[in-house]
Structure 1
Amino acid sequence: MSIVLGDNQYGKAETRVVRIDRDAEAHRVTDLNVSVALSGDMTDTHLTGANDKVLPTDTQKNTVYVFARDGVGEIEEFGLRLARHFVDSQPTVGRARVRIEQYPWTRLELEGAPAHHSFARSGEGTRTAVVTYDGRQAWVVSGITDLVVLNSTGSEFWGFLKDRYTTLQETRDRILATAVNATWRHEGAEDTDWGKSYATARRALLDAFAETYSLSLQQTLYAMGERVLRTCPEIVEVRLSLPNKHHFLVDLAPFGLDNPNEVFHAADRPYGLIEGSVLRDDAPPAGMAW
């Protein structure tokens, strides 16, 4: 029997960086969490401890800060700049993957007018990007996490399988709520208006959720992915993870009261988790995108 080294990578995870663009008319906040992972021929390092091929993770952290000094822009652009730098500048780095989360800040209003330099963290969901570059090709996956949405009606759930352990009752009118976690793969990494693409995809997800009369969360998942693909020609695949945020009708009969579908208990766990992907039938291979 022989034992060999398998796939491996190393990097600096979750470098927090906040950049303030101090424009005269109004400041802008860019709040990021950046993780870098590098890979190459690291056999000697793992087997003998030789570090001559290792770019210290502290150096990777410093690089994030230095690149932020020159401006961030759209997070996909920032990720591409970093990934290409690590691969193109270091002969022992064969692939770089940069994961970025961008936390949203909303400008406050003072007497109906936007404030110059005052902000509040908003609940609009966290924007994400994963950029992978191998020296020849770049892959970009954009996305959003924790986008919490709710339909107070327009959702049913019935006709499901039943066995001796089934207690769930069928319903023709229920609350449908979820925290959308979505990622989408771009056909290419060049000549894309990343800001417009993200805004359009996010809008498509919300529109599909609101406009779909849902008989299952799976049906809603497909409608959301399909809407993104029909709206954004630069996107070839959408992956969604939708936790079902259950709302159970409270029994008020012990108190001599009815409950005409108005008072609910919001349960945080356990929860149903619906996941799937929607893609174009002519989508190019994913390569190392995911």
Structure 2
Amino acid sequence: MPTILGQNQYGKAENRVVKITRDGDTHHIKDLNVSVALSGDMDDVHYSGSNANVLPTDTTKNTVYAFAKEYGIESAEQFGIHLARHFVTTQEPIHRARIRIQEYSWERIATSDANSKFIGSDEVNHSFARKGQELRTTQITFDGETWEVISGLKDLTVMNSTNSEFWGYVKDKYTTLKEAYDRILCTDVAAAWRYNWTSDGNRMPNWEKSYDQARKHILQAFAETYSLSLQQTLYQMGSRVINSRSEIDEIRFSLPNNHHFLVDLEPFGLKNDNEVYFAADRPYGLIEATVLRDGIEPKIPVDMTNL
């Protein structure tokens, strides 16, 4: 039966690059995991093995490291834009570039050494500890004319120890879950948001500030929502971001419900007054949804939160 080639891409995945910027005695770290995917006029390499239009994946790897030196890394988004523009505009067979970046965060280590040469500061300016919090993500796509930037975060674990209920749900003969009027609400936030910046002719967002603010609004909405369901909390988180950040048109969440069940202490003659819980890691409820600015069509793929 005859066959034809469908959608295809190639590139170098998971290029780990660490850029140290030295500002006198004060150093700054950008720690990225960069994946490059290129597509375009690639029929011949698939049909006949001709590499005439193929830029080696090793070259894409080298470009990542060279650009870290040449352009620096102001933000994950800006770095990805430099890379995508380069591959599409310098290689005629390449029609589309997709750059996916994960960013690992570091924080300065505080010191109590009063005799340190860093007198006047409680932080060592060149010593860092890896933050045990979320992973920042971004995907930049460029086709020679139009940009798409989708940024986000994953593995941001949050918990409300009260102000959460779950009751009034459908029950059938298999339902054993008891209604809860004061429960723990815990989840690992994975979110992806789409910027409405699409072309070089328009002013770019401040990528660093936008990320910080989107993260802040997600956390504030989680903390401030009296939750009757995780779905309600999700919608409040998304609405807070959309209503507060004009540069963001769409945000998608994937929220596992990290169940905490009250332990039965009655066999030991003890009363459990919402104090002792069993934290179950699986199975878990998984709540996913997209929140959009009114009038905007959804464009974020459903799997974007798995970057």
Which interval holds the TM-score relative to the shorter structure? Answer: over 0.9
Match of 2:137 among 81, 105, 128: 128
Name the amino acid aligned to 1:77. Q
Within 5 Å, give how 1:79-98 maps onto structure 2.
79-98=80-99
Q: For residue 2 of structure 1, report the CA deviation from its aligned partner.
A: 3.5
Residue matched to 1:109: 110
Distance 2:84 2:50 in 1: 24
Deviation at 1:285, TM superposition (A): 6.7
Residues 35-50 of structure 1 mapped to structure 2, 5 A cutoff: 35-50=35-50
Distance in 2 between residues matched to 1:146 and 1:135, nearest whole Å? 33
**Map of 1:163-178 to 2, 5 A cutoff?**
163-178=172-187
User: How much does 1:243 deviate?
Assistant: 0.7
CA deviation profile, 1:160-184 (whole Å, cap 9, x unmatched): 1111211111100100000110010
- TM-score, normalized by length of structure 2? 0.91
- When residues 113 and 287 of structure 1 are mapped into structure 2, their CA distance, relative to the original with a 3 A threshold, is closer
Aligned pairs for 1:137-148 (under 5 A) are 137-148=146-157
Q: Which amino acid counterpart does residue 266 of structure 2 have in structure 1?
A: A
User: Among 239, 261, 264, which residue is 2:252 paired with?
Assistant: 239
Tell me, which stretches of 5 or more residues in structure 2 are unaligned?
113-120
| Regions of 4+ moved over 2 Å | 282-290
Distance in 1, Cα, partners of 2:76 & 2:170: 44
Does the Cα contact within 8 Å between 1:132 and 1:288 map onto a contact in 2? no
Say whether residues 1:260 and 2:273 are aligned partners.
yes
Task: Say which SS state the counterpart of residue 94 (structure 2) adopts.
Answer: coil
Using the alignment, how far apart are the partners of 1:287 and 1:134 within structure 2? Answer: 17
- C-alpha spacing 1:287/1:167, structure 2 compared with 1 (3 Å): closer
What is the deviation of 1:282?
A: 2.5
Residue aligning to 1:6? 6
Does 1:33 pair with 2:72?
no
Superposed counterparts of 1:173-188, under 5 Å = 173-188=182-197
Cα contact 1:13–1:36 (8 A) shared by 2: yes
Structure 2 SS opposite 1:94: strand
Note if 1:214 corresponds to 2:215. Answer: no
Determine the C-alpha separation between the residues in 2 that align with 1:144 and 1:172.
30
Are the aligned partners of 1:131 and 1:138 in contact in 2 as well (CA < 8 Å)? yes
Q: Assess if the C-alpha contact under 8 Å between 2:252 and 2:300 holds in 1.
A: no
Q: Distance in 2 between matches of 1:288 and 1:227?
A: 21
CA distance, structure 1, for counterparts of residue 209 and residue 69 of structure 2: 24
Distance, in Å, in 1 between the alignment partners of 2:279 and 2:299 is: 38
Amino acid aligned to 1:76: E
Residues 284 and 157 of structure 1: CA distance in aligned 2, closer, same or farther (over 3 Å): closer
Percent identity among equivalent residues? 59
How far apart, in 2, do the equivalents of 1:84 and 1:286 lie?
Answer: 21
After TM superposition, give the deviation of residue 47 of structure 1 in Å.
1.4
Contact 1:139 1:288 in 2 (8 A): no
1:251 pairs with 2:252:
no
**Which residue of 151, 171, 186 maps to 1:162?**
171
Tell me the TM-score normalised to structure 1 length: 0.96
How many positions carry a matched residue from both structures?
290
Structure 1, unpaired ranges of 5+: none
Once residues 285 and 244 of structure 1 are traced to their aligned partners in structure 2, the CA distance between those partners, rounded to angstroms, is: 24
Asked if 2 retains the 8 angstrom alpha-carbon contact of 1:123 and 1:147, the reply is no
